[in-house]
């Protein structure tokens, strides 16, 4: 029976930086796995531990120095000396836009009706939390929630919901988006 290794030799690890922080990753580890291990939060949706990473949802995009486009953290393995950012303006822009695009197609525009503990809702909540606790910080630009159909913009957290509401406050709490009996759900402000 193989014994658990007491230590992992240096040659089996790679050193890279994530958001300026030096990280030592296992050779087979992805950027996302390494980030989770050291407690750096990167949103992700289509990835699940133990399953093949596909990199399709694009919520976990990170910027890798020297690369033309962003890369999915769930699929990329760090290489020695790689410089990665998951929290700079460029990476955050794409991460939040992906979440926003997906949420904007939810019937409740911002809350998934399909499962009680949806990952999409979770990350939407995290984005809003980031925006609320650290306004103007470099970590997260205040997250702007909006209806991409009617273009009503609702910066979140909406002033009305700033105080300790644990629940996920979706745009104007049903005032903007309302069910339409004829065409499923639409935007009340444009008569959806």
Partner 1 sequence: MQGGYKTLTACVNGRCNVEDVIKSLEDSNLRGLGGAGFPAGRKWRTLRQQPKPRLVAINIDEGEPGTFKDRYYLERDPHRFLEGTLIAAWAIEAEAVYLYLRDEYAGCRAMLTQELEKLRRDTPCIIPPIHLRRGAGAYICGEESAMIESIEGKRGMPRLRPPYVAQVGLFGRPTLEQNMETMHWVRDILEKGPEWFTSHGRHGRRGLRSFSVSGRVRKPGVYLAPAGITLRELIDEYCGGMLAGHELYGYFPGGASGGILPASLGDIPLDFDTLTPYGCFIGSAAIVVLSQHDSARKTALNAMRFFEDESCGQCTPCRVGTAKAVKLMEKATWDKPLLEELARAMEDASICGLGQAAPNPLRCAIKYFPAEFN
Q: Interface residues with partner 1 (CB under 8 A)?
A: 55-59, 61, 69-70, 72, 75, 90, 93-94, 97-98, 101-102, 104-105, 146, 148-149, 151
Tokens of 80: 């020695």
18 or 147: CB nearest partner 1: 147
133 or 148: CB nearest partner 1: 148
**Alpha carbon separation from 41 to 101, 142, 150, 158, 159 (Å, rounded):** 20, 17, 32, 24, 26
- Shortest CB 160 distance to partner 1, Å: 23
132 or 149: CB nearest partner 1: 149
Say how many CA atoms lie within 13 Å of 1 toward its Cβ: 2
- Shortest CB 5 distance to partner 1, Å: 28
Residue pair 123/59 in contact (Cβ under 8 Å)? The answer is yes
Phi then psi dihedrals of residue 72, to 5 deg: -75, 125
- The number of beta carbons lying within 10 Å of the beta carbon of residue 38 is 12
**What whole-number distance in Å separates Cα of residue 133 and Cα of residue 124?**
14
Sequence length of the chain is: 192
- Shortest CB 58 distance to partner 1, Å: 5
- Shortest CB 144 distance to partner 1, Å: 9
**CA 138: distance to chain centroid?**
16
- Shortest CB 4 distance to partner 1, Å: 31
38 or 190: CB nearest partner 1: 190
- Shortest CB 163 distance to partner 1, Å: 29
58 or 130: CB nearest partner 1: 58
* End-to-end Cα, the chain, rounded Å: 65
**What whole-number distance in Å separates Cα of residue 62 and Cα of residue 68?**
12
102 or 139: CB nearest partner 1: 102
């Amino acid at each position: 029976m193989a014994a658990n290794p007491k230590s992992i030799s240096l040659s089996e690890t790679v050193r890279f930086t994530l958001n300026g922080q030096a990280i030592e990753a296992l050779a087979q580890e992805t950027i996302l796995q390494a980030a989770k291990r050291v407690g750096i939060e990167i949103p992700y949706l289509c990835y699940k531990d133990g399953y093949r990473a596909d990199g399709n949802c694009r919520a976990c995009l990170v910027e890798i120095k020297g690369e033309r486009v962003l890369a999915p953290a769930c699929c990329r393995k760090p290489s020695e000396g790689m410089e990665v950012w998951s929290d700079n303006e460029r990476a955050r822009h794409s991460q939040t836009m992906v979440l926003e695009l997906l949420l904007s197609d939810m019937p409740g525009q911002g809350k998934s009706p399909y499962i009680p503990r949806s990952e999409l809702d979770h990350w939407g909540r995290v984005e809003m939390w980031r925006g609320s606790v650290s306004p103007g910080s470099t970590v997260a630009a205040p997250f702007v929630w909006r209806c991409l159909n009617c273009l009503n913009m609702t910066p979140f957290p909406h002033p009305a919901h700033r105080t300790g509401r644990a629940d996920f406050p979706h745009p104007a709490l049903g005032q903007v988006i309302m069910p339409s009996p004829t065409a499923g759900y639409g935007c009340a402000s444009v008569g959806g």
